[in-house]
């Protein structure tokens, strides 16, 4: 019974660990230092889960999108675009909060005690747009335009930026293959630098990669306000106390914008709301009856 209680009290963490284990469950890959090549690799998983991870049984949607855009034979994939739209339209950034392996890594790093946390980052609002710049430039434009003599492009986001790929794939593969260790160069050093920087920042800042750099989170965030699964505020109960905003690690004011593109659906605002005014729903929200004198300009009044 104690185990059941612990699982219930740490439900999100449990789901994160289980989903990460399932999507990276090819343990022979870690033992042999080889990438799994089974049929399931043709399918995408929802989160940022590197194709080259020795244990990965599926493909990363961002990596797959770049591969298709950079191919001389395929410049568009209805499967990948459709997959991203389906996941986004159904649950939005719930993927980031519950199903992404690198999100789990950042969550665990932020839990390290004894280190002063930074709640507000300078230029936070402006930095949030960086993930959309990365999406457009590194995921779309560069694979389409920077091609070799045969007309093939590179997955530039994976190659130059993605710390998840370095953590789950690059380091395990290099550490287990002497042939790879002999050929590593400045690019691998650069990727390790980005990973180490992300790790250090994640100890002090909640999910810096998710907030500022992740193009997949940027895509899912665009669907947050329109997805079937969403957050809803009962403005008859809400006192605008601001506790949800104070407790939110993503710095979202749920009582103003319950379905902000930055919300990862972690559920903390629901847990801390003293009036139980925030809930989840799969139905179309009804326009709440707000006080006519309210000047918050929240999403419920629009």
pLDDT tens profile 51-74: 999 999 999 999 999 999 988 777
Is pLDDT at 3 greater than 70 in this prediction? no
Tell me what the pLDDT averaged over the chain comes to. Answer: 91
pLDDT tens profile 134-193: 999 999 999 999 988 877 889 999 999 999 999 999 999 999 998 889 888 999 999 999
Is pLDDT at 297 greater than 60 in this prediction? no
pLDDT higher at 148 or 220: 220
Q: Which residue has the tokens 């930074």?
A: 118
Question: Which residue, among 1, 39, 10, 41, has the nearest Cα to 23 in the 3D structure?
Answer: 41
Which pLDDT value is given to residue 292?
Answer: 45
pLDDT range class, residue 299, cuts 50, 70, 90? low
245 touches 254 (CB < 8 A): yes
pTM greater than the 0.95 cutoff: no
Which pLDDT value is given to residue 253?
Answer: 96
56 touches 49 (CB < 8 A): yes
pLDDT tens profile 24-51: 999 999 988 899 999 999 999 999 999 9
Is pLDDT at 283 greater than 80 in this prediction? no
DSSP string, the chain: -HHHHHHHHTHHHHHHHHHHHHHT--HHHHHHT----SGGGGSB-SS---TTSTT--SB-HHHHHHHHHT-SS-S--HHHHHHHHHHHHHHTTHHHHHT-HHHHHHHHHHT-TTS---SS-TTHHHHTTHHHHHIIIIIIIHHHHSB-TTS-B--HHHHHT-HHHIIIIIHHHHHH-HHHHTT--HHHHHHHHHHHHHHHHHHHSSSHHHHHT-HHHHHHHTTTTTSSSEEEE-TTT-----HHHHH-TT---TTT-TT-TT-----HHHHH-TT--EEEESSPPPPP---TT--S--GGG-
Is pLDDT at 226 greater than 70 in this prediction? yes
Distance CA 60, CA 5 (A): 33
pLDDT tens profile 71-123: 877 767 889 999 999 999 999 999 999 999 999 999 999 999 999 999 999 99
Question: Which residue, among 47, 199, 48, has the nearest Cα to 110 in the 3D structure?
Answer: 199
The predicted model gives 251-269 an average pLDDT of 96
Which pLDDT value is given to residue 148?
Answer: 84
Is pLDDT at 221 greater than 70 in this prediction? yes
């Amino acid at each position: 019974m104690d185990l059941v209680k612990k699982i219930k009290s740490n439900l999100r963490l449990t789901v994160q660990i289980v989903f990460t284990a399932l999507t990276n469950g090819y343990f022979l890959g870690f033992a042999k230092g080889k990438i799994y090549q089974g049929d399931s690799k043709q399918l995408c998983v929802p989160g940022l889960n590197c194709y080259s991870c020795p244990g990965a049984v599926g493909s990363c949607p961002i990596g797959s999108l770049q591969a298709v855009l950079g191919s001389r034979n395929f410049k568009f994939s209805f499967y990948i675009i459709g997959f991203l739209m389906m996941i986004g339209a159904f649950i939005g950034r719930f993927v980031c909060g519950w199903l992404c392996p690198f999100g789990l890594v950042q969550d665990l790093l932020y839990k390290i005690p004894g280190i002063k946390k930074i709640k507000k980052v300078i230029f936070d609002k402006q930095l949030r747009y960086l993930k959309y710049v990365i999406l457009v430039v590194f995921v779309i434009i560069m694979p389409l335009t920077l091609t070799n003599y045969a007309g093939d492009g590179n997955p530039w986001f994976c190659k130059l930026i993605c710390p998840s790929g370095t953590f789950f794939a690059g380091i395990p593969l290099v550490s287990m293959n002497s042939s790879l260790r002999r050929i590593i160069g400045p690019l691998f050093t650069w990727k390790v630098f980005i990973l180490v920087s992300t790790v250090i920042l994640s100890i002090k800042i909640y999910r810096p990669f998710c907030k500022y750099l992740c193009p997949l989170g940027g895509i899912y965030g665009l669907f947050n306000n329109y997805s079937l699964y969403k957050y809803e505020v009962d403005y008859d109960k809400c006192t605008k106390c601001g506790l949800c905003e104070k407790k939110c690690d993503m710095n979202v004011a749920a009582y103003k914008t319950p379905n902000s593109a930055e919300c990862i659906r972690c559920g903390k605002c629901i847990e801390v709301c003293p009036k139980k005014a925030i809930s989840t729903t799969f139905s179309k929200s009804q326009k709440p009856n707000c006080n006519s004198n309210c000047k918050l300009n929240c999403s419920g009044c629009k």
